[in-house]
Amino acid sequence: MGRRSGILEFAVLGLLRESPMHGYELRKRLNTSLGVFRAFSYGSLYPCLKTLVQRGWLAEESGDGSEEALAAPLAGRRARIVYRLTPEGKEHFEELLAQTGPDTWEDEHFGVRFAFFGQTSRDVRMRVLEGRRSRLEERLAKMRASLARTRERLDDYTLELQRHGMESVEREVRWLNELIESERAGRDQSRGETPPDPPDDTTAR
């Protein structure tokens, strides 16, 4: 399973854990709630849904209820399929939610994992946040070293672009520091407290 498809499966399971959805509604949620999936199409989503159904993690149901199920054949169209998370699917999602390996720190996967932090235990949140911060600090050190070596060879615009990239990473590191301190202080965000605002670009590369 590729990294990209794995992220999509995780997001689909997480959204369906909240409530059953039609494929079209699910796609809208992926686009609006998880911006990393803006470029995804039905061509990517429906094979994913089919795979999850085959694995027993999702179940298919026809229509929203009896009225739609009866009206669809009369109108000469198929009833829309509703996808629902099965108990096995919920268990699998909870296993994925507990993972804290390096993949969870990477740009695309971190954004998706963060979107489901409300369903994630505090110790897992801490490990993911600290892992992400460590990864970005490594990236920042490499960027600074590279800039120091090449500064004199860069024109003004390329130099500004390099600085902009560094500032984006620095901003996310500061944001992560605030989140980590909040977690350490034992603040329970599920009680309605607002976490620090994310930086403009939480997928700084």
Q: What is the DSSP string of 95-126?
A: HHHT--SGGGGSHHHHHHHHHTGGGS-HHHHH
When comparing pLDDT for 65 and 170, which is higher?
170
pLDDT band at 33 (very low <50, low <70, confident <90, very high): confident
Task: State what percent of residues in the chain have pLDDT above 90.
Answer: 53
Q: How far apart are CA 14 and CA 190, in angstroms?
A: 17
Q: How far apart are CA 31 and CA 12, in angstroms?
A: 12
Q: Helix, strand or coil for residue 61?
A: strand
Q: Average pLDDT, whole number, for the chain? A: 83
When comparing pLDDT for 105 and 67, which is higher?
105
pLDDT band at 154 (very low <50, low <70, confident <90, very high): confident
The residues near 40 (Cβ < 8 Å, ≥ 6 apart) are 8, 27, 30, 31
Span of 13-17, 106-110, 125-129, 137-141 with lowest mean pLDDT: 106-110
pTM for this model (two decimals): 0.77
* Span 180-196, pLDDT tens digits: 999 988 755 445 556 66
* Span 115-143, pLDDT tens digits: 999 999 999 999 999 999 999 999 999 99
141-155 average pLDDT score: 90
Amino acid 39: pLDDT: 62
Tokens 């996310």 belong to 172
Torsion (CA) 109, 110, 115, 119 in degrees, nearest 10: 100
Amino acid 108: pLDDT: 77
For residue 71, pLDDT over 90 is answered with no
